[in-house]
Structure 1
Amino acid sequence: MKQLIGTGVALITPFNDDFSVDVDGLKRVVDFNISNGIDYLVILGTTAENATLTDKEKQLVIDTIVQENDGRLPLVLGIGGNNTQAVIEEVQARNLDVFTAILSVSPMYNKPTQEGIYQHFNAIAKATRKPIILYNVPGRTASNMLPATVARLAKAHKNIVAIKEAKGDIVQAMELIAQCPQDFLVISGDDMITLPMVLAGGAGVISVIGEGFPAAFSKMVRLGLERKVDEAYDIHYKIAPAIDYIFAEGNPAGIKAVFSELNICGDTVRLPLVGVSADLRNEINTFIAQF
């Protein structure tokens, strides 16, 4: 799955002031990332606020990105949830022809055991031939998918090809790299430790900060994959403050504030999320001006 090596970005869903989907803004976000070196695009991840999108709006987002991308970059589609049968039904109902893979989050809220997590993804993998990227994000799901469970899934199913690992734990990331098959991709889901993960043997990142600063962040990842350590870390330390800023008051409020300052789209989010505070906005804007 060489198409998934490098920098992918979890695209936001821009909204107009009336909270409707800003189609033109979404097109500008797509073009901004394509023209600045991003390797692939992820549609309807957490950053897209897909929890607050209707089915009709989700289809609008998919159609808009697919049309604007026009085959230029590989696409990944987020399809996940805590109702295994509902996930299977969505995977089977959607036209996945244009997508390189689906990204499927570990079940949230239910807090399944490791065996429950295994059986959840076991059932999804049996229901489709499409490559699957597992998504471990304990900060949102309230349960951690352990490396042994991931390795078990990777060995059992050829179409489970990667994991987006967002625990923020470099030790767990290294355990994944060590325990999983050699061709299985361990992708960072934590922007701050992306470079250490890449240097440890990871395949890259599915990023939030990367869509706001695509040229710099994708260059950092490429340098890391090329083992140009000093040059890569020079970029890392320059961009690290922005990573803290964009997550300080929640995602995607922070990254939307970046896009607003760049005049690419507005910063409207849907409840229960709210926009960033005036103080944080000033910090973000100051960083952009200096960067």
Structure 2
Amino acid sequence: MQAITGTGVALITPFKQDFSVDTEALKKIVNYQIDNGIDYLVVLGTTAEAATLTAEERELVITTVVEANNKRLPLVLGIGGNNTAAVTEELKIRDLSAFTAVLSVSPYYNKPTQEGIYQHFKMVAEASPLPIILYNVPGRTASNMLPDTVVRLAKDFDNIVAIKEAAGDIVQAMKLIQKAPKDFLVISGDDMITLPMILAGGVGVISVIAEGFPKQFSDMVRLGREKKADEAYTLHYLLADAIDMIFEQGNPAGIKSVFKSLGLCEDVVRLPLVKVNEDLADRIEGFVKKIG
């Protein structure tokens, strides 16, 4: 699964001022990633505001990204939820021929036990024709998929090949790296601790900040994987303030503000999200200009 190592980005869904999907902007953003060294693209993750897209809009986003990418980079598709039956049904009926893997979030809101999480992903693994990247993000799901549960899944199902670990806990990430099977991939889902996770043995990141600053962040990831820590940390600290800023008032409002400053799309988000305030927008624009 070398296709999902290095720097992946969680693509946004750009909207026009009337809140419709801006397919031309999405094409520009895909090309911006490819032109600046990103290794793979993640479609319809949390950053895509997938929860507020209609079924028709999700199809439009998929079609637009697949066509714009034109087989240049591996693609990962987000298929997850808190209704196990609905997730498994989508995996069975969706055309996944353009994709390398599926990213599937741990069930949110229901707050399952560790056994419930295991049984959910057992069903997902049995239904999926593609390799699965587990996605642990307790800040959004209200439950933490513990390392022992991840290791159990990795050992029991050959097509569960990786985890996007976004608990923001470097110790938990290190336990995953230590205990998981040798060929199981631990991918950072937290931009701020991506570099230490890679230096500890992680294989890369599925990033938000890299979408706005793809060259600098992907260079940092490559240097980290080469164990060139000093050079990598120079880039980490260059972007650290931006990482804080883009999450200060929520994702993807912050990264969309970066894209507006870059002239790639509007900063429109759908309710219940709102765009960043004027003060933060000004600070983000100043950072973008400084980076150049």
Question: TM-score band, normalised by the shorter chain?
Answer: over 0.9
* TM-superposed deviation, 1:230: 0.5
Match of 2:218? 218
Match of 1:264? 264
Map 1:201-216 to 2 at 5 A. Answer: 201-216=201-216
| One-letter identity of the residue aligned with 1:35 | D
* TM-superposed deviation, 1:231: 0.4
* TM-superposed deviation, 1:129: 2.9
Q: 1 CA distance for matches of 2:127 and 2:77?
A: 16
* TM-superposed deviation, 1:128: 2.1
Q: Which contiguous aligned blocks of 4+ residues in structure 1 show a shift greater than 3 angstroms?
A: none
Q: 1 CA distance for matches of 2:159 and 2:277?
A: 43
* TM-superposed deviation, 1:289: 1.2
Map 1:19-38 to 2 at 5 A. Answer: 19-38=19-38
Match of 1:152? 152
The answer to whether the aligner puts 1:188 opposite 2:201 as a matched pair is no
Match of 1:237? 237
Map 1:101-116 to 2 at 5 A. Answer: 101-116=101-116
RMSD: 0.4
Map 1:162-177 to 2 at 5 A. Answer: 162-177=162-177
| One-letter identity of the residue aligned with 2:47 | T
The answer to whether the aligner puts 1:47 opposite 2:50 as a matched pair is no
* TM-superposed deviation, 1:144: 0.1
Unpaired runs of at least 5, structure 2: none
What is the number of equivalent residue pairs in this alignment?
Answer: 291
SS of equivalent to 2:196: helix
Cα offsets for 1:70-127 (capped at 9, x unmatched): 0000000000000000000111111011100000000000000000000000011011
SS of equivalent to 1:140: helix
* TM-superposed deviation, 1:253: 0.2
- TM-score, normalising length: structure 1: 1.00
Paired-residue identity, %: 69
Q: 2 CA distance for matches of 1:66 and 1:285?
A: 30
Q: 2 CA distance for matches of 1:89 and 1:273?
A: 29
SS of equivalent to 1:241: helix
- TM-score, normalising length: structure 2: 0.99
Q: 2 CA distance for matches of 1:77 and 1:31?
A: 18
